[in-house]
Copies of this chain bind each other. A is one copy, B any other.
């Protein structure tokens, strides 16, 4: 058989699933929707849906994101024209185990979205309920009652690990922040994503000393209490060199 015979191919369903991460109340949270139908009816799952015949994968992911959250995505691939605006979206990995969906053969292209803290999930489309859940809860002990549907626990774990490692060597952590933010707010993002405590003084030295990472806006804020802090925007740099080091243990 020809490896590219277009007339005889096994048909697959292709979906996109979304790992939408944000930082809420010092914890890394993800968007979960409750399934309204079998299989896994009533269980939590990652948002997602079928790819349409005429859209590409990133487009399908962006569409699902708007439908579920109202969030707009910075043009993928293009360096953000207005850093801090909108969310970051990237492809995560593809999951295609023959048995991952009991009904049929579904290949799901998972995407990772990093978003600033949002007011509240609007249950758009057909999702009759949606919520931000701490990833600790969803990935907690094995066999948890709150376990995610399908292989979504694995997808979420992969997405979280991707985010954890990517903020080491890129400026992506700013995607969790509003357009203007303080060094302390950025530090709390790192602390939430890595679930560690960082030294405020060394962190400040590191981020302000990395060229192109942060651009001072001139303003200050006191919204965190304490001494007023300088406000920054994300700079043009996307890669951190040397990287931010994740503490051991």
Interface, chain A (partner B; CB < 8 A): 2-4, 6, 9-14, 35, 37, 48-57, 91, 93-98, 101, 103-105, 107, 109, 125-126
Closest to A108 in B: B94
Inside 8 A of A14's CB, which chain B residues have their CB? 10, 12, 14, 96, 107
| Shortest Cβ distance from A5 into B: residue | B50
How many monomers of this protein are in the complex? 2
Looking at A6, A57, A94, A97, the one whose CB has the most chain B CB atoms below 10 A away is A94
Contacts of A101 in B (CB 8 A): 6
Closest chain B residue to A107 by CB distance?
B14
Residues B125 and A3 in contact, CB atoms below 8 Å apart: yes
Question: Are A49 and B93 touching (Cβ within 8 A)?
Answer: no
| Smallest Cβ-Cβ distance to A150: which chain B residue | B4
A105 touches B10 (CB 8 A): no
Cα separation A74 to B64 with both chains bound (whole Å): 36
Q: Please tell me which one of the listed residues B12, B48, B93, B95 contacts residue A51 in the complex, with CB atoms under 8 A apart.
A: B12
4 A-B pairs closest in CB distance: A3-B49, A11-B11, A9-B13, A57-B96
Whether A109 contacts B96 by the Cβ 8 Å rule is yes
* Nearest CB on B from A9, distance (A): 4
User: Can you add 12 more A-B contacts, CB < 8 Å, to A14-B96, A57-B94, A107-B109?
Assistant: A3-B48, A3-B126, A6-B101, A10-B13, A10-B50, A10-B52, A11-B11, A53-B105, A56-B96, A91-B93, A91-B94, A96-B109
Q: How far in angstroms is the closest Cβ of chain B from A145?
A: 22
Known: A6-B104, A50-B3, A56-B97. A13 touches B12 (CB 8 A): yes
Asked if A51 meets B4 with Cβ closer than 8 Å, knowing A12-B11, A107-B109, A109-B107, the reply is no
Which B residues touch A105, using CB under 8 A? 53
Could you say which residues of chain B place their CB within 8 Å of the CB of A9? 13, 50, 104
How far does the Cβ of A127 sit from chain B's closest Cβ, in whole Å? 8
Nearest CB of chain B from residue A135's CB, rounded to whole Å = 22
Across the interface, name the chain B residue whose C-beta is closest to A241.
B248
Q: Bound state CA distance, A55 and B98, in angstroms?
A: 6
Bound CA span A37–B7, Å: 14
Closest beta carbon of chain B to A11's beta carbon, Å: 4
